[in-house]
């Protein structure tokens, strides 16, 4: 079988990480079997679909590295195709015109609710012998009143639906646009989709789609429903659990490899292995290892995984990725190689690309601001003479390098009978404004002799004026 999978987002907002995981599963399955991955935009909801969302979804897919072989196809460009198939069902008497107005249907729905029952269309228009002229109509498919509808799900096994629970549902609205379930079936058939892999929130759509396949005489593709992604409280993942869109994780400084790795492992496993290259995922991914139970999203685990990828990428690549985050904060990056040194000094502590920018401001600004608590604790009159001695030694230093800086600190510690922390922490506050930074000698070497002496002098002036 020539495997063909698809991802079909609705462009009514950003690409949700649940949708991203569905796209990843479909992409991996197609790549594993040497098949095709098709991208389709389901934009028939004209009131909610936007070009901005389409653009953002495509950008997110590209950023994740999910290249598609065909598409992106738009449902809005395929209206004649849907209408042709709807006419076939009408002509074969497997569908009929429904003239019930939205107001009439809503009144019946409210009446059913008042009686404590679920409303199902009664089939009022099913047996009409004559048709009023000039009156708008929708098309409804004729559904069985008894029996069952079965599907062999590749993840969940055999699933049975009671046919009487499904009314004669609409396949084409009065404006000529198809309904979701009808368009999906026609698209999957005409695009030769062999495997439909989607979230189990679509499970309720499955019996309706099977009825459409049967009515048109089409072969039903292989279907697999993967579990939902839940928050830590086991509720459906939402914004209250944190970021939920791919673009937000990108803006927060996550790497696409980390997000793909993490989302793939939500509901899929391969022994105890946690970290995979994309090539390994393609090689090992099958639906047999996709679990039935809902997957719980763990932000801390994603942060850890992202930190691992940051630590294991080439420095030059991380520096290039960090640059937009620094520029967004208004920092000017000089082409002198300092950025790679900054990245090297920070990346053992950084968990995201944004972390680099958030913790590196003192390397790029002219004037730093002291943390108030750190200033009071460390920029004291007692440290003034230490700073003055340090400035004297730094001025006379030939090589402004980490080994030489260490040597000078050792000399000062011995001369003044101090511990390293009693010198290093005040210097750190003077140079960075706070008490947390990479190794103080690395910071000094990156800042350079001129900037270090300038900031030490400024700290001395601050001590004298306070």
Say if CB 74 and CB 183 are below 8 A apart: no
Instruction: Report the 10 Å Cβ neighbour count for 204.
Output: 11
Sole residue written with tokens 């270090």: 452
Crossing angle of helices 420-432 and 449-464, in 10° steps, is: 100
Q: Radius of gyration over alpha carbons of the chain, in Å?
A: 32
Q: Please tell me the distance from the alpha carbon of residue 370 to that of residue 360, in angstroms, as a whole number.
A: 14
Query: Angle at Cα 139 formed by Cα 96 and Cα 189, nearest 5°?
Result: 105
The tokens for 95 are 């569908």
Strand partners, 196: 223
Q: Give kind and range of the element (H or E) at residue 349.
A: none
Q: Please tell me the distance from the alpha carbon of residue 216 to that of residue 94, in angstroms, as a whole number.
A: 9
- Choose the catalytic residue: 129, 239, 332, 419: 239
Say if CB 140 and CB 125 are below 8 A apart: yes
332 is catalytic: no
Q: What are phi and psi of 125, to 5 degrees?
A: -95, 0
Say if CB 360 and CB 342 are below 8 A apart: yes
Catalytic residues: 239
């Amino acid at each position: 079988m020539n495997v063909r999978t698809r991802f079909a987002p609705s462009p009514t907002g950003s690409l949700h990480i649940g949708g991203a995981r569905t796209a990843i599963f479909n992409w991996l399955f197609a790549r594993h079997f040497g098949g095709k991955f098709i991208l389709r935009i389901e934009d028939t909801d004209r009131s909610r679909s936007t070009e901005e969302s389409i653009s953002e979804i495509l950008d997110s897919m590209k950023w994740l590295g999910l290249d598609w072989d065909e598409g992106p196809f738009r449902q809005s460009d395929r209206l004649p195709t849907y209408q042709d198939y709807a006419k076939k069902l009408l002509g074969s008497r497997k569908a009929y015109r429904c003239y019930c107005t939205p107001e009439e249907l809503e009144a019946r729905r409210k009446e059913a609710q008042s009686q404590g029952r679920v409303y199902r269309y009664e089939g009022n228009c099913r047996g009409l012998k004559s048709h009023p002229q000039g009156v708008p109509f929708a098309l409804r498919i004729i559904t069985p009143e008894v029996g069952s509808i079965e599907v062999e799900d590749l993840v969940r096994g055999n699933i049975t639906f009671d046919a009487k629970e499904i009314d004669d549902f609409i396949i084409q609205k009065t404006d000529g646009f198809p309904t979701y379930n009808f368009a999906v079936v026609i698209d999957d058939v005409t695009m030769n989709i062999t495997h439909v892999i989607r979230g189990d929130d679509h499970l309720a759509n499955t019996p309706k789609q099977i009825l459409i396949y049967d009515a048109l005489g089409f072969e039903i593709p292989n279907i697999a429903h993967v579990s939902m992604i839940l928050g830590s409280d086991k509720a459906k993942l939402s914004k209250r659990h944190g970021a939920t869109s791919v673009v937000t994780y990108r803006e927060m400084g996550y790497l696409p490899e980390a997000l793909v790795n993490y989302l793939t492992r939500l509901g899929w496993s391969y022994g105890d292995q946690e970290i995979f290259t994309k090539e390994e995922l393609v090689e090992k991914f099958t639906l047999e290892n996709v679990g039935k139970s809902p997957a719980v999203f763990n932000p801390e685990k994603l942060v850890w995984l992202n930190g691992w990828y940051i630590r294991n990428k080439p420095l030059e690549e991380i520096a290039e990725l960090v640059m937009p985050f620094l520029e967004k904060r208004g920092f000017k990056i000089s082409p002198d190689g300092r950025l790679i040194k900054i990245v090297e000094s920070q990346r053992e502590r950084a968990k995201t690309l944004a972390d680099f920018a958030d913790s590196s401001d003192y390397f790029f600004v002219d004037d730093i601001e002291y943390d108030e608590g750190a200033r009071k604790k460390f920029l004291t009159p007692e440290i003034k003479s230490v700073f003055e001695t340090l400035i004297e030694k730094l001025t006379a230093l030939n090589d402004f390098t980490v080994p030489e800086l260490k040597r000078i600190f050792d000399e000062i510690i011995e001369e003044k009978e101090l511990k390293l922390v009693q010198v290093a922490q005040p210097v750190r506050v003077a140079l960075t404004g706070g008490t947390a930074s990479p190794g103080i000698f690395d910071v000094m070497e990156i800042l350079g002799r001129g900037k270090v002496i300038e900031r030490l002098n400024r700290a001395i002036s601050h001590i004298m004026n306070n």
